[in-house]
A and B are shown apart, each in its own frame.
Chain A
Amino acid sequence: MSAAGVQPRDWTCPFCSLLCDGLALAPGPVLQLRGGDCARARAGLAAFDHPAAAVSCVDGVPRGLDAALDAAAARLGVAHLPLFGGLATDVQGMRALYRLANVRGAILDHAHGEAMMPALRMLQDRGQMFTTLAEIRNRADLIVCIGTDARSSHPEFFRRCAPAAGREAGGRVVFLGAGGGTPGAAEIPWASTVDALCAEGDIFDTVATLAALVDSRRLAAVPAALAELADAMRAARYCVLVWEPARLAQHGALVGEALLRLLMNLNRKTRAGAFTLGGNDGAQTANAAMSWLSGLPLRSRVGQQGVDHDPLQYATARLLDERAVDLLLWVASFTPDLPPPPAALPRIVLGHPALAAGCAQPGTVFIPVATPGINADGHLLRADSVVSLPLHGVRDDGLATVAEVAQALVARLASGAAAKEGAR
């Protein structure tokens, strides 16, 4: 619960996986962003305006933190197979949640688990070729955004791609099959040109065609715009493909695999890499921490029997639909935009204080938690899964961190104190 005021230009924004830093935040009851104007950051910060005293709640009744922890431990103590969902937390939170999951066994999945799976399946089936933001700034002469405008989920993406000082000219940006409303030249001022190309059929067909053209395969009918793009990709010194698995329909992993094949081909003669947009709300962090601790990524079950990974079976929606789990522990420490899914089973919510109102019903224990980067320090991993950054708390709202709550639950379960309420 460290929340010393940060120095100017030291704030790291936790509200998307680009983790913009070098920003400043004016502390106080209303947190104002300085040095940037990101809609997502502003919305995230607005949820912390004028904090009221946040209280825990058991079955809709306000309770002290200790009582709420007792109740939560009791319910965990009698659960046969809990699901730890949401997982919008930082590294320390995941470390402690992993220990808690081991106490009685649990399945772990992130709120964005469904969106993460195409990239994970691609990695598991074929691999990946990636690049990172500094490489893009310093090298990219062609950026192709496939099926995404990039900025809806990551408003600062194109600012972060701006060419490094001293580079002669900015590269070209192409949107392919990204729908309407993609940014124009005025919105990417550093780009030499900005083009928006329509998809040729659906996104699967479009990527397949593009890959074939990059590979110089003969096609019956060659769409001129795609042929030109393929030539440009082959001619580029460093081409970056941007994709966003969350935007893809079912079987999006196939798009990822096609893009990987395309990249492997491109890299035989020139250089290129992919940038995957995703991992917001701590998803990248939760998946990485889970992987290093257990050896396997999210959508795994842990316990005395070891680790069992099943990206299809261990999906939050499916587990809840099939009533395959008997308790949901939901973690959402960054924004109020990740409420726990409604479920007819006991719920324990470690959440942003603004989630309290929606968690005041029987069967639910709500414990408000601190937000890394607002009222707690912490660490998150960036979208590229390479860079991790420290988050600095700017305010002390007297809230426990997810790690502290999870540790308290481990201690209660270990001491058996939970058994008392569990008997009722």
Chain B
Amino acid sequence: MTTIRLKGGRVYDPANGVDGEVRDIGIRDGRIVALHAQDKVDAEYDLTGCVVMAGGIDLHTHIGGGKVNLARMMLPEDHRLNRPRDSLLELASNGCCTPGTLETGYRYAQMGYTAAFEPAMLASNARQAHMEMGDTPILDHGAYVMLGNEELFLEMLARGEDPQRIRDYVGWAIGASKAMGVKVVNPGGISAFKFNQRKLDVDEDHVHWQVTPRQVVHSLARALSELGVPHPLHIHASNLGVAGNIESTLATIDALEGLPGHLTHIQFHSYGREGPKKFSSAARQLVERVNAAPNVSIDVGQIIFGQTVTASGDTMRQFANAELGNPRKYVGGDIECDAGCGVVPFRYREQSYVNALQWAIGLEIFLLMDDPWRVVLTTDHPNGGPFTSYPHLIKLLMDKRFRDEQLARLHPDVAAMADLREIRRELSLYEIAIMTRAAPARLLGLTDRGQLGIGAAADIAVYREEADREAMFATPEYVFKDGLLVARKGRIEAVPVGGTHFVEADYDPAIEKTVEAWADRHASISYRHMKIGTDELCSCSNGGALLACKVHGRGRPL
């Protein structure tokens, strides 16, 4: 039984309404407990001059699975530099845009993050995704299974299957892949591309199945709502990166008809068609709509200037952008009547009008949103930029002067015209704590994470207060994972295996007959192997804790 006292830190714990109060935090056996002043402790840390927050939670970061691994293999140039190890606990691992899993775990932990979620797990690649996440040390993890482009679902939708059967299928798919939620990517579009369709608007028919993205989005959102899955449908909307795509983004919000939905990397979906270059910010339109739609949450997918790589399931859009690759390489794949993958290396340039505007749009969205509980800080790692740029991004959001300096370096038209110039808001530490821990925890249904209340898991980041927020957030003084000190001033102190978050939803098992019949006709593996059992998950995820979240539906008898 280990008891620790964190003494005298300034605590930001928005889930419990704590805004910068100086208070002590007690830890016993990995949980936060109330300690009296006279209680004996095994260790006490003097946190005078420090800011205390729950461990960071990244709810959208491509850290594991086939396309990330292909990106690693295709970009040896991203891995030439070896960061000096300052701890013998670290095994060799490197890379910046697509680091090895070991490096990913070390770097996130060094930055005060204690959980990360892979947003695009293909059902057919789920084992590998869990293996890679299991080899990402320290962090807890989980993944959203990609649905809405697999032929079985589209076939069910096309033949007008009862929504309850769709719900059961979605429940089955979550259970089979051991997912934490469901993501839809270019709804129907990945499949449509396999049928040689090159564009799919929200109300346009899939050339083969004759269903629309609107139907796909609505039926998945409804299924999740009925299953009671905490995380809303995670939506990578239609027409990513296309000028004028704000229309399809707003139409996608409409498609939800009030059901919960999380629009991810929304920056890439908030483009107008105004101005001489026919490419403009639609951040105000977007935010106005999201502010008025309490069922909708977003993460931003901020771009960061410099080299990165885009790895996406959206083959339709990735193939269209293949020629923009820098360096000029392209990986694309059609996968198992299930999904796809497209990888395009990319360099965001300050002097590019489009890139500069993308940068400004992302920041505008952050700064215009009324409700920080519905906007999560992400760069869509690595698609907008590597996760290691979060401290830089936090500084941009907290420091207007710094932001203006950066803006002045950009393409002159953007520097002179962007709405961003007029936005004076500087986010507070409280708001940053919401966007990086409390809100993602709430959106994922993690009741005992992302907060510092009594009984919560002791995932804690302690930052030395500094005026330079980038430096402050880059290297926390201490990071605790389940009460264990895992990093101190950037040095890794312990390397526990993280746990796997996944949802266990109730569904009518009769649906399995439908899936099995489909598998017998179409799949390339036995139906039995389409499911990952709990024991197998344990092996895949390297023996980490299995953090099952049981849900029992909402508003329906079982």
A residues whose Cβ falls under 8 Å from a Cβ of B = 9-10, 12, 21-22, 91-92, 95, 98-99, 102, 120, 123-135, 137-139, 160, 164-166, 237-238, 264, 267, 270-271, 273, 287-289, 291-297, 302-309, 377, 379, 381, 385-390
Additional A-B contacts beyond A134-B523, A388-B128 (20; CB < 8 A): A12-B529, A124-B74, A124-B329, A125-B329, A127-B329, A128-B332, A129-B330, A132-B524, A134-B336, A134-B522, A139-B334, A164-B521, A237-B196, A270-B196, A271-B194, A297-B73, A386-B122, A387-B524, A387-B525, A390-B127
Contact B336 A306 (CB under 8 A): no
Contact A132 B333 (CB under 8 A): yes
- A interface secondary structure, majority: mixed
Q: Do A137 and B128 form a contact, CB below 8 Å, given A291-B69, A292-B69, A306-B92? A: no
Stretch at the interface among B98-106, B259-267, B400-408: B98-106
- Which residues of the partner chain B approach A129 to less than 8 Å between Cβ atoms? 330-333
| Binary contact track B327-354/A, C-beta < 8 Å → 1, others 0 | 0111111111110000100000000000
Q: Do A291 and B72 form a contact, CB below 8 Å, given A273-B333, A307-B92? A: yes
Report how far A267 CA is from B195 CA in the complex, Å: 11
Q: Do A295 and B525 form a contact, CB below 8 Å, given A124-B76, A134-B338? A: no
Report how far A237 CA is from B522 CA in the complex, Å: 18
- Which residues of the partner chain B approach A379 to less than 8 Å between Cβ atoms? 127, 131, 539-540
- Which residues of the partner chain A approach B196 to less than 8 Å between Cβ atoms? 237, 270-271
Report how far A22 CA is from B528 CA in the complex, Å: 8
| Binary contact track B60-78/A, C-beta < 8 Å → 1, others 0 | 0000101011101111101
- Which residues of the partner chain B approach A270 to less than 8 Å between Cβ atoms? 196
Report how far A296 CA is from B521 CA in the complex, Å: 38
Contact A296 B336 (CB under 8 A): no
Contact A135 B334 (CB under 8 A): yes
Report how far A307 CA is from B91 CA in the complex, Å: 10
Contact A296 B94 (CB under 8 A): yes
- Which residues of the partner chain A approach B336 to less than 8 Å between Cβ atoms? 132-135, 386-387
- Tell me if B536 is interfacial: C-beta within 8 Å of chain A: yes
Give the distance to chain B from A63, nearest Cβ to Cβ, in Å.
30
- Which residues of the partner chain A approach B151 to less than 8 Å between Cβ atoms? 138
Which of A135, A379, A385, A387 counts the most chain B CB atoms within 10 A? Answer: A387
Give the distance to chain A from B217, nearest Cβ to Cβ, in Å.
24
Contact A123 B73 (CB under 8 A): yes
- Which residues of the partner chain A approach B38 to less than 8 Å between Cβ atoms? none
Contact B330 A127 (CB under 8 A): yes
- Which residues of the partner chain B approach A99 to less than 8 Å between Cβ atoms? 91
Chain A residue nearest to B193 (CB atoms) is: A271
Contact B330 A134 (CB under 8 A): no
- Which residues of the partner chain A approach B132 to less than 8 Å between Cβ atoms? 292
Choose among A288, A306, A377, A387 the residue that contacts B82 (Cβ–Cβ < 8 A). A306
Contact A388 B526 (CB under 8 A): no
List, sorted by A's number, 20 A–B pairs whose CB atoms are closer than 8 Å. A10-B526, A102-B92, A126-B329, A127-B332, A130-B334, A132-B335, A133-B336, A133-B524, A134-B336, A134-B523, A135-B336, A138-B151, A292-B135, A294-B92, A294-B93, A305-B82, A306-B94, A386-B122, A386-B336, A388-B125
- Tell me if B322 is interfacial: C-beta within 8 Å of chain A: yes
- Which residues of the partner chain B approach A377 to less than 8 Å between Cβ atoms? 539
Give the distance to chain B from A10, nearest Cβ to Cβ, in Å.
6
Give the distance to chain A from B147, nearest Cβ to Cβ, in Å.
16
Report how far A14 CA is from B141 CA in the complex, Å: 30
Could you count the A-B residue pairs with CB atoms below 8 Å apart for me: how many are there?
205
Contact B333 A386 (CB under 8 A): yes
Chain B residue nearest to A385 (CB atoms) is: B66
Contact B521 A390 (CB under 8 A): no
Give the distance to chain B from A98, nearest Cβ to Cβ, in Å.
7
**Residues of chain B from 131 to 147 with CB closer than 8 A to chain A in the complex:** 131-132, 135
Which of A289, A379, A388 counts the most chain B CB atoms within 10 A? Answer: A388
Chain B residue nearest to A238 (CB atoms) is: B194
Give the distance to chain B from A256, nearest Cβ to Cβ, in Å.
13
Choose among B79, B93, B525 the residue that contacts A293 (Cβ–Cβ < 8 A). B93
Which of B91, B99, B196 counts the most chain A CB atoms within 10 A? Answer: B91
Give the distance to chain A from B488, nearest Cβ to Cβ, in Å.
21
| Binary contact track B278-321/A, C-beta < 8 Å → 1, others 0 | 00000000000000000000000000000000000000000100
Report how far A232 CA is from B128 CA in the complex, Å: 36
Q: Do A386 and B125 form a contact, CB below 8 Å, given A95-B135, A95-B542? A: yes
Contact A123 B74 (CB under 8 A): yes
- Which residues of the partner chain A approach B522 to less than 8 Å between Cβ atoms? 134, 137-138, 164-165
- Which residues of the partner chain A approach B453 to less than 8 Å between Cβ atoms? none
Chain A residue nearest to B345 (CB atoms) is: A127
Give the distance to chain B from A190, nearest Cβ to Cβ, in Å.
14
Chain B residue nearest to A165 (CB atoms) is: B521
- Which residues of the partner chain A approach B122 to less than 8 Å between Cβ atoms? 386
Contact A381 B128 (CB under 8 A): yes
Contact B127 A127 (CB under 8 A): no
Report how far A134 CA is from B527 CA in the complex, Å: 13
Q: Do A296 and B338 form a contact, CB below 8 Å, given A21-B529, A387-B525? A: no
- Which residues of the partner chain B approach A128 to less than 8 Å between Cβ atoms? 70, 331-333
Contact A309 B91 (CB under 8 A): no
Chain A residue nearest to B540 (CB atoms) is: A379
- Which residues of the partner chain B approach A309 to less than 8 Å between Cβ atoms? 76, 79
**Residues of chain B from 37 to 83 with CB closer than 8 A to chain A in the complex:** 64, 66, 68-70, 72-76, 78-79, 82-83
Contact B539 A92 (CB under 8 A): yes
Give the distance to chain A from B176, nearest Cβ to Cβ, in Å.
13
Chain B residue nearest to A23 (CB atoms) is: B526
Contact B322 A22 (CB under 8 A): no
Report how far A126 CA is from B125 CA in the complex, Å: 24
- Tell me if B520 is interfacial: C-beta within 8 Å of chain A: yes
Report how far A78 CA is from B344 CA in the complex, Å: 44
- Tell me if B124 is interfacial: C-beta within 8 Å of chain A: yes
- Tell me if B85 is interfacial: C-beta within 8 Å of chain A: yes
Report how far A8 CA is from B36 CA in the complex, Å: 60
Contact A264 B322 (CB under 8 A): yes
- Which residues of the partner chain B approach A297 to less than 8 Å between Cβ atoms? 72-73, 76
